[in-house]
Amino acid sequence: MDQPPPRRTLIQNPDTTTWGETDWGIAAAKLAGDGVKLDDLLLGTYGDIPDEAPPDHGLTPRGAVVEPNMPDFGFRVTRKQDCWCDEVPDLYERAKNEQWDATHDIPWNKLPELPEDIERAVCQIMTFLVENEYVALAIPAKFIPQIDPHYTEVSLLLATQVKDEARHIEVYTKRALANGGGLQYVSSTTQWALKSLHSQNNYLKSSFLLHLLGEGTFLELLKFIEDIAPDPVTREILVRTRQDEARHVAYGVAHARQLLNEDPSMAEVLQEAAEERSSFLRATSGINPFVQRALGILAGGGTSEEQFQAGLERVRDFYRRLHQTRINRLMVAGLPEPTARRISELHGVGGQAYM
């Protein structure tokens, strides 16, 4: 571990230091309306989000006046464009207002007993959702310590995401176990797809792959499962988790939009992220057979040949719409149509990844 350098300078009297001015006299609470929100604080030097974090400020809050010789904490997310967008403070406030509790807010005592083939399909889908939620929990948790405190609002927002994903793991696991079906089968296809997302160590690329592409696709999957859910309790779980995911995707879209608006050439970096993930995955095929079957059963309402084939047709139709929805979202984020189309085709491998 680095040792602190010999101490040559020290603030003896803060009133006479020439290193900088504090924000003394700017009363954020007096200017705010209903409560003090994060973006009410964006005044004075605290409100100045730098394009690049100063390298020698350590773990100190933006807007504070720092002594020299701060220790280097090795932050890797040190540029505004890597993580910031102006919506972050609002999204953080929204995240706090939209918290819910998987123990008490789901009417578990109203969960009906379902036919065995339907219950199995629900448990299979819950198993798959839990796998995906693990990666959505791990990624923001991995990056929070890498973000320079000059972009602290991003860390706070990611902390709410960690809480959201923990709740999603909890609620999907509870649903799998609630009726006695338990967790079902895991496909290596899914695990490799998740690994390809998990192993991206550049925040900008990882956030694009997760918040925009992965969770954007996941959002559509949750809506589809909500539509084919066999009972109101399972549906309620999908409705609530989808509201959280929409917030995560809102960050992904807003961040990409601000990034591309300020520097359109960053489209290449985003495409590169999708290419890298896809080439990592090229040896595996994209469809998880357990999930595919479970979706077909729920969409068709049962396991008879006729029901299952009708269900699979609905699933195929969902896939076709999924691709177009993903292109649209990428274009809303500011990517030109051909790039958006290419990235959507690459998602996972052959466009078949959910997360």
* Percent of residues in the chain assigned helix, strand, coil, to nearest 5: 65, 0, 35
The b-or-e profile of 42-65 (16+ CB within 10 A means b, else e) is beeebeebbeebeeebbeeebbee
Closer CB to Fe ion, residue 171 or residue 298?
171
d(CA 215, CA 210): 6
Contact with Fe ion (CB under 5 A) among 87, 119, 165, 236: 165
Q: Shortest approach of Fe ion to residue 10 CB, angstroms?
A: 46
Q: Which two tokens stand for residue 294?
A: 């479970």
Closer CB to Fe ion, residue 87 or residue 245?
245
The Cβ-side half-sphere exposure at 71, using a 13 Å CA radius, reads 6
For residue 187, how many other CB atoms are within 10 A of its CB? 18
For residue 212, how many other CB atoms are within 10 A of its CB? 29
Q: Shortest approach of Fe ion to residue 241 CB, angstroms?
A: 6
Size of the site for Fe ion (CB under 5 A): 7
Q: Shortest approach of Fe ion to residue 99 CB, angstroms?
A: 13
Closer CB to Fe ion, residue 40 or residue 245?
245
DSSP per residue, 24-46: TT--HHHH-SSS--GGGG--TTT
Residue 40 amino acid letter: D
Closer CB to Fe ion, residue 297 or residue 355?
355
Task: Sketch the per residue contact string, 124 through 153, with Fe ion: x for CB under 5 A, - otherwise.
Answer: ---------x--x-----------------
Closer CB to Fe ion, residue 118 or residue 171?
171
Closer CB to Fe ion, residue 120 or residue 247?
247
167 sits near Fe ion (criterion: CB under 5 A)? no
Contact with Fe ion (CB under 5 A) among 119, 131, 148, 245: 245
Touching Fe ion, residues 202-241 (CB under 5 A) = 215
Contact with Fe ion (CB under 5 A) among 150, 247, 248, 329: 248
DSSP per residue, 100-122: --TTTSS-GGGPPP--HHHHHHH
Of 211, 214, 196, 218, the C-alpha closest to 257 is: 211
Contact with Fe ion (CB under 5 A) among 150, 168, 242, 255: 168
DSSP per residue, 260-290: HHH-GGGHHHHHHHHHHHHHHTTTS-S--HH
Closer CB to Fe ion, residue 119 or residue 215?
215
Mark the segment that binds Fe ion (CB under 5 A) among 39-47, 70-78, 242-250, 297-305: 242-250
- List residues near Fe ion by CB under 5 A: 133, 136, 165, 168, 215, 245, 248
